[in-house]
């Protein structure tokens, strides 16, 4: 299961256009980039609203969480237009707002977030947790569903969601969703190698993504949803590289899943942690029991 919204051909064309245009946008001034991205977003949102408001701006803002910036269906195209001009003239101001209060994050055994925050503030990407388990990091689109999938794996001890591979320290959800901080939504977990192997963890990731789709998982589009394997040790890196090589023959296109050494992982806000297990936006808890195979509903 992936975090998906309605499939709309016109929206897909806009997404492809953004994929092609992204390298060009990286070489032009920030104001022009914001003009283009804001226009593409508002255009896609307007189209989605005209069809019943089901799109909800997933292309740029993504489906990692609710956002008040996306107008309701009743606002229609006028609401999307207001959003476009609001985004255009609003300065990015990355890193200028309130930071995530890591003191509010839950700790073990409920979540790995508190310990992960300690490592982040020390600018570390360790390979072992305080209790001696192995640490590793994966990205696979919306981190809500990905976390629940790994929570269910026997041998995975603890998990948390957050942001990694970006250039901004202590990023917030809003900053990451702007696609300007460089981060991707990710999960960090601890595991017992005597129960589950690192390759098995990599295999699970590939069951949840199309590894040949760049910056895209389901209908979540943008660099903040790029998928990746981020090993914490040389041994994990060797396994990850071999895993990708072994799987390339299964696809007609090149695998574009990132395979990079783990860097600082910044935990996300507390309300994102174990989101689906807690009930999601619909207040309907989903099982994180080991071995559970029930369908993961990304929005709860």
List the structure tokens of 201. Answer: 């963890």
CA distance 210 to 231: 20
Is 160 known to be catalytic? no
Helix (H) or strand (E) holding 158: strand 156-164
- Find the catalytic residue in 3, 26, 142, 160: 142
DSSP character string of 109-124: TT-SHHHHHHHHHTT-
**DSSP states along 10-45:** HHHHHHHHHHHHHHHHTTS-HHHHHHHHHHHHHHHH
- List the Cα angle 254/255/256 in 5-degree steps: 105
In angstroms, the first-to-last Cα distance of the chain is 12
How far apart CA 263 and CA 256 sit, in angstroms, is 19
Q: Which residues are catalytic?
A: 142
């Amino acid at each position: 299961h992936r975090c998906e919204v309605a499939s709309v051909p016109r929206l897909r064309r806009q997404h492809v256009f953004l994929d092609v245009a992204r390298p060009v946008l990286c070489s032009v001034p920030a104001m022009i980039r914001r003009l283009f991205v804001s226009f593409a977003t508002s255009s896609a949102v307007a189209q989605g609203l005209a069809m019943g408001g089901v799109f909800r701006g997933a292309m740029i803002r993504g489906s990692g969480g609710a956002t008040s910036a996306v107008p309701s269906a009743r606002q229609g195209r006028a609401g999307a237009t207001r959003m476009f001009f609001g985004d255009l003239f609003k300065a990015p101001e990355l890193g200028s707002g309130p930071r995530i209060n890591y003191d509010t994050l839950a700790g073990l055994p409920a979540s790995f977030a508190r310990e992960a925050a300690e490592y982040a503030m020390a600018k570390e990407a360790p390979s072992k947790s305080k209790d001696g388990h192995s640490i590793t990091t994966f990205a696979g689109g919306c981190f809500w569903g990905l976390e629940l999938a790994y929570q269910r794996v026997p041998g995975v001890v603890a998990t948390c969601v957050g942001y990694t591979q970006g250039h901004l320290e202590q990023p917030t959800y809003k900053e990451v969703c702007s696609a300007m901080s460089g981060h991707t939504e990710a999960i960090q977990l601890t595991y017992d190698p005597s129960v589950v192997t690192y390759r098995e963890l990599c295999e699970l990731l590939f069951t949840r993504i199309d590894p040949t789709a760049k910056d895209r998982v389901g209908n979540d589009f943008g660099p903040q949803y790029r998928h990746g394997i981020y090993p914490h040790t040389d041994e994990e890196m060797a396994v990850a590289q071999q895993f990708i090589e072994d799987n390339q023959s299964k696809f007609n296109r090149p695998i574009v899943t990132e395979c990079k050494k783990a860097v600082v992982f910044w935990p996300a806000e507390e309300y994102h942690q174990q989101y689906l297990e807690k009930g999601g936006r619909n207040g309907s808890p989903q099982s994180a029991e080991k071995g559970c195979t029930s369908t993961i509903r990304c929005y709860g």
